[in-house]
Structure 1
Amino acid sequence: MLRGLYTAATGMMTEQIRTDTIANNLANVNTNGYKKDEMISEEFESVLLHRINDDSQQGSILDLQNIDTARKYLLKGTVAADEGGMAPSIGSLGRGAKVAEIAVVRDQGALENTGNKLDLAITGDGYFSVNTPQGVRYTRDGNFYRSAAGQLVTANNQAVLNTAGQAINLPPDTADINIGADGTVNAGGQNLGQIGLAGFADRGALLKEGDNLYRPQNGAQPQQAAGSIQQGWLERSNVNVAREMVELINNYRTYEADSKALVTQDSLLDKAVNDVGRVS
């Protein structure tokens, strides 16, 4: 019964993490370039159970497959559960659930036309490279501005980097800014460089860091991405609100079932301790 308590409890803890993941997705439904998270759960390694010294349905132990081996263990008074398939199998007993991974779903989000020349959307693979106090980070949020110093920056005043890893400087009082699909920036007939689009061979090489930024892990190195840039557009979040709400309801039902199983196991344990063992 104690195992049942732990099994139900691990299920509840797993579903709590799933609830937090769904809540975070819903909170970022209006965040530009946000990619939803999806929690993947798995079962703890199950235990294979066998009947020991049980002839209630098998007749004699000598009725098992290997008569000689059965006789050997019969003389010892035991039946081996792991030799030659001797003991009848009851089945597997699960030991609860655990979080295997919180994966990022990198599907393309819908594009929204803003008409702002400094709003950029990436179609296909790629990330904008930005300079932060922690080093170079990557984002899909193309809601950019011109800073007081004349640099192309994010909403958090982080410089957007070109293919050479340098900040892009925009001339003052220039409204005629054109950015091509390859990221080439032109203003007033002057070529100001090319916005770098970073890609990674292993899409799992990037980890979410917060503030809509990603950081590479395990020394992953960026390469030229195959995506293209659309000026005057923004990529919206790829979160589907209706789908997330359905998942939230389903998650609640699963949590509720685990909770009832926990209460039932506790009630059975209470009866076993206080009633079954009582001396009349």
Structure 2
Amino acid sequence: MENTSYIALTGQMALWRKMDSVSNNLANMDTEGYQSESLVFSDYLVGTRSTGRRLKENLAYTQTLGAYRDLSVGPIKETGNALDLAIEGEGYFELDTDAGPVYTRAGRFTLNPDGMIIALSGHPLMSETGQPIVLAPNEGRVTISGDGSVSTENGVIGRIRLVTFEDQLRMRRVGGGVLDAGGQDPKPVERPAISQGMVEGSNVNPIVEITKMIEVQRAYESTNNLLEQENDRKKKAYQALSGAKGA
């Protein structure tokens, strides 16, 4: 008699996780370089203990297998700012942090007081040599070519490190549009394509996410109604059994 409730509860837990995923996507619809995330669910089959059947019956519970990111490129917006960069195709910028390198497609950069190119988080943008890119005090005009080469009026001063990974879905979200490698070694993008004066927006489709949210809410309400009906059924069964014993 408990199976129906257990199955429904696993379904509700999965719906809660899906709602969290949808809510997170909507919260980051304006986060530059953010890639929307969806969850993958599957049935978890458990054999019953009934011996009255020749063929054993299985109960299907719901389990969450994991999450996957939409790797499609978000809309490219022109800003005109020299240190705004958009990746046209695959790849991630590498940022240096105290906890190790992290990766992002969010390309809004600026200069710190020391002339270092940094992300809005304050973390330096890394070059192919594994060092931050620093402008000299007398350098004011910055040009960034499609292959990531950074030039000033004094010539080329470095080249932006653009990397990708064997399995991008193994990368783990650190926050917003920033990810860590998930234990993988980065490899350089063979044909980098960077556009200066542009930024990549979030690839979240708000209409799709709102539709998902409505579907999740309806499914949750339906499951909740099922649980209430099952609870009423159990109460009536217990009352009937108690009355029969009392008689």
Q: Secondary structure at the match of 2:194?
A: strand
Match of 1:93 among 30, 34, 59: 59
Residue 88 (structure 2) aligned to one of 123, 127, 134: 123
State the identity %: 28
In structure 1, the residue matched to 2:24 is 24
Instruction: State whether residues 171 and 187 of structure 1, in contact with CA within 8 Å, keep that contact through their aligned partners in structure 2.
Output: no
**3-state SS in 1 of match to 2:83:** coil
Give the match's secondary structure for 1:274: helix
Shift of 1:267: 1.0
Distance, in Å, in 2 between the alignment partners of 1:104 and 1:42 is 18
Matched, 1:236 2:236: no
**Are the counterparts in 1 of residues 78 and 199 from structure 2 also a CA contact under 8 Å?**
yes
**Which of residues 92, 116, 122 is equivalent to 1:151?**
116
State the Cα distance separating 1:133 from its structure 2 match: 1.2
Q: What are the residue-to-residue correspondences of 1:1-280 with 2, within 5 Å? A: 1-47=1-47, 52=52, 87=54, 89=55, 92-94=58-60, 96-172=61-137, 174-218=139-183, 220-225=184-189, 226-278=191-243, 279-280=246-247
- Residue 228 of structure 1, CA deviation: 1.1
* CA distance 1:161–1:210, change in 2 (3 Å): same
Structure 1: 5+ residue stretches without partners = 53-80, 82-86
Does structure 1 retain, via aligned residues, the 8 Å contact 2:91–2:163? yes
Which ranges of structure 2 fall in alignment gaps of 5 or more residues? none
Instruction: Provide the rounded CA distance (Å) in 1 between the counterparts of 2:158 and 2:194.
Output: 14
SS in 2 for 1:6: helix
Q: CA deviation at 1:14?
A: 0.7
Q: How many residues align?
A: 244
Q: Which whole-Å deviations, capped at 9, do the CAs of 1:60-95 have from their partners, x for residues lacking one?
A: xxxxxxxxxxxxxxxxxxxxx5xxxxx2x485432x
| Preserved contact between residue 49 and residue 92 of structure 1 (Cα < 8 Å) | no
One-letter amino acid of the counterpart of residue 104, structure 2: T
SS in 2 for 1:230: strand
Cα deviation per residue 1:130-173 (whole Å; 9 max; x = unaligned)? 11111111111100001111100000110000001100001235
- Provide the TM-score with structure 1 as the length reference: 0.82
Q: Residue 64 of structure 1 corresponds to which residue in structure 2?
A: none
Aligned residue for 2:185, secondary structure, equals: coil
> Normalised by the size of structure 2, how large is the TM-score?
0.93
- Determine the C-alpha separation between the residues in 1 that align with 2:172 and 2:192: 20
Deviation at 1:276, TM superposition (A): 2.9
1:2-49, Cα deviation, whole Å (9 max, x unpaired): 111111111111101110110000000000000011011111124379
Residue deviations 1:210-239 (CA, integer Å, cap 9, x gap): 153211123x11111144100000000000
Q: Which structure has the bigger radius of gyration?
A: 1
In the alignment, the residues of structure 2 paired with residue 273 and residue 173 of structure 1 have an alpha-carbon distance, to the nearest angstrom, of 85
Separation in structure 2 between the aligned mates of residue 183 and residue 150 of structure 1, nearest angstrom: 18
